[in-house]
Structure 1
């Protein structure tokens, strides 16, 4: 255990508080059992260490461990927790839980047997977290760390700090909001950069290598997270990669499941499963006309890449700007709002209808609709029901 403590101190000493995710303030840290899920590279490990610093946890009563450490080849997580508690430990932070075979059952036992210790765990495999959530639901409160919003990207890039806004306030006061922001920065000067490489914090390491790293992260997620969870063969993983390649060149589109399954060479049900796997990995997003009562074998109305950066990483030709705009809108709004596909405009959120387009987008398609809005790219400030696309990046 001494080596684990040394590694913990070394990582803690390298942690800085200059860039802290908004989720830090949204998590109720008074809970004794907290889970944080999120795609690879979202910043979960950094969040754990910043939690120690922000809340000023006593380092002698706190321990961080990653379950991919070689220590756990000969030691159990439960035995570590037992030793930690006996030495006065109060806060056990556990990273990469999906790397440990019996993590959910051992975490339950730790929670039940050591009532004076707080457990915070993270997992890069959202699939593993979701499959275990039923077992942990009566105990753990699970949050998701999404990629950076455009607002967070501006802060992490040290351009400017802004407060979050609500969708309701934006729809009513978007002109005033945009004018206030534009008086401080030129948002369009940074918006294209965000769309290209700003979703994950590791853009700070090397912007030029970001697309390559994102591609590698996606391939690793498919190759390592899917097979043990769904008992998939190497051949199935290759089929999923083929499907992703097809989607990257085609989204957004209304899928013909029969034709798509024939092209990939799998059954209809297998194709629907593959699409679900890709969404669980936060690579593809399925959109339905009605978000109520969605079944596992229900065909999605439309398919999108999960966030704009993926389009630039996977596309072997110029990324489609219409797809980029819509992917951005969904990625920002879906964090707090259920989004439905609409046959009139592009998207529906509750009673509001949204049509996405360029700065010259007309009102024609939504002219007969109430509570309808044009979301326009390449404009700084909107007018009446026409709102700048970039402003929706301030929702979270």
Structure 2
């Protein structure tokens, strides 16, 4: 398997925005959902190493999801033995070790620690489970790692996958170029950003996303956490999808199941929620409180990690476009800032970023009552955080409003907000 990697040609790549550091002296850890492109990110880094003059033989790459690797904790050291036998002349200290989906092998963290302490500091690992990796990193690998998260494509990356030339094609004021951009954004909104999806025929996109969901359900959650009642788990995950963009009440879901005669404890549902977040099916967003304890304990808003996946498991009518748009903006904000919260007192504001930017997301504000509701929520958040301006992100409407109380409101199309303000 080691030699096979050295003899085969690496696939053609489209460069992602995230790039990994060289010679950091730390174990580089990349975590994110299955099929988000972690393997290709490693390939991207390997190709860069080769371009820098590193011989391919000095790079050991293994994917621990390869069924030919029948490894156990006590046999992991066979990897290094085999590598030494293949290339006895190599100084392993100057070699690079790439371990893909490493969490599949029990005891992996001790193995990686041994390599780090005795062989080489050039180690790169990936995994699809945030909690599992975090626990091992916090114990065996404490202080030795740098962690990166890789999500499905953001819109800028999606455009690159569509051969969009930013120097030539990006023009918000040219009607023809703007129409092309809007069509790309519409596709991104409906089918999401998993890297394989843009290259598929339309009828295969949703089917493929449904398969991703099934693998997440059965392999990443049920199998990993030994959950036998997959019907309840599936119902719960679909309820999370129905709740996208709303505050989540486990108590309510518990009562629903109870009324249908399904026996499951509230504790089990809280565990399922944790597992769903660990597997990157969802992300939770906290409500802003001055008290950190209150913020942790209060109900949180739930978002799926990808708008296409939401459409693949939940029927959405016209009103669903607003939820998809909200999810897209949330994913972009996650990469823009580590501090994104929602705000709710008398009124609600979708997102507050770093306590400096208040954002409402609304597909269309043509209806006067809708616009009024969005402005009221924005006003309350801006007053609370002492902000002089706020943003309403729409699908394709643009305007500037001066609101009573000395507040400037910028109404901006989502594609323009993402490409101009967040990049």
- Calculate the TM-score normalised by the size of structure 2: 0.79
> 1:142: which partner in 2?
147
Superposition map of 1:1-150 within 5 A: 3-10=1-8, 13-17=9-13, 19-24=14-19, 27-32=20-25, 33-55=27-49, 56=51, 57-73=54-70, 76-84=75-83, 86-88=88-90, 89=92, 90-115=95-120, 118-135=122-139, 136-150=141-155
Deviations 1:231-253 (A, max 9, x none): x3311x33221112223234332
Please report how far the alpha carbon of residue 295 of structure 1 lies from its aligned counterpart in structure 2 after TM superposition: 8.7
Cα pair 2:97 2:122 within 8 Å, conserved: yes
Superposition map of 1:168-187 within 5 A: 179=172, 185-186=178-179, 187=181
Cα separation, 2, equivalents of 1:328 and 1:122: 24
Cα separation, 2, equivalents of 1:180 and 1:45: 38
Deviations 1:156-181 (A, max 9, x none): 1102237xxxxxxxxxxxxxx97479
Query: Which residues of structure 1 form unaligned runs of 5+?
Result: 163-176
291-300 or 333-342, larger mean C-alpha shift? 291-300
Deviations 1:228-281 (A, max 9, x none): 554x3311x332211122232343323333221122343333222222221222
Please report how far the alpha carbon of residue 43 of structure 1 lies from its aligned counterpart in structure 2 after TM superposition: 0.9
> 2:194: which partner in 1?
200
Aligned in 2, Cα 1:71/1:367: closer, same or farther, shift over 3 Å?
closer
Deviations 1:103-131 (A, max 9, x none): 1111111111113x511111133343223
> 1:165: which partner in 2?
none
188-197 or 358-367, larger mean C-alpha shift? 358-367
Cα pair 1:35 1:141 within 8 Å, conserved: yes
* Structure with larger RCO (C-alpha < 8 A, sep 6+): 1
> 1:379: which partner in 2?
396
> 1:171: which partner in 2?
none
Could you tell me which of 355, 364, 371 is aligned with 1:362? 371
Cα pair 2:216 2:281 within 8 Å, conserved: no
Aligned CA RMSD, in angstroms, stands at 2.9
The count of corresponding residues between Structure 1 and Structure 2 is 373
Query: Partner of 1:375: helix, strand, or coil?
Result: strand
- Calculate the TM-score normalised by the size of structure 1: 0.84
Query: Partner of 2:152: helix, strand, or coil?
Result: coil
Cα separation, 1, equivalents of 2:83 and 2:174: 48
Cα pair 2:365 2:394 within 8 Å, conserved: yes
Cα separation, 1, equivalents of 2:397 and 2:6: 45
Deviations 1:281-318 (A, max 9, x none): 22222222138746998342322222311221111343
- Rg comparison, structure with higher value: 2
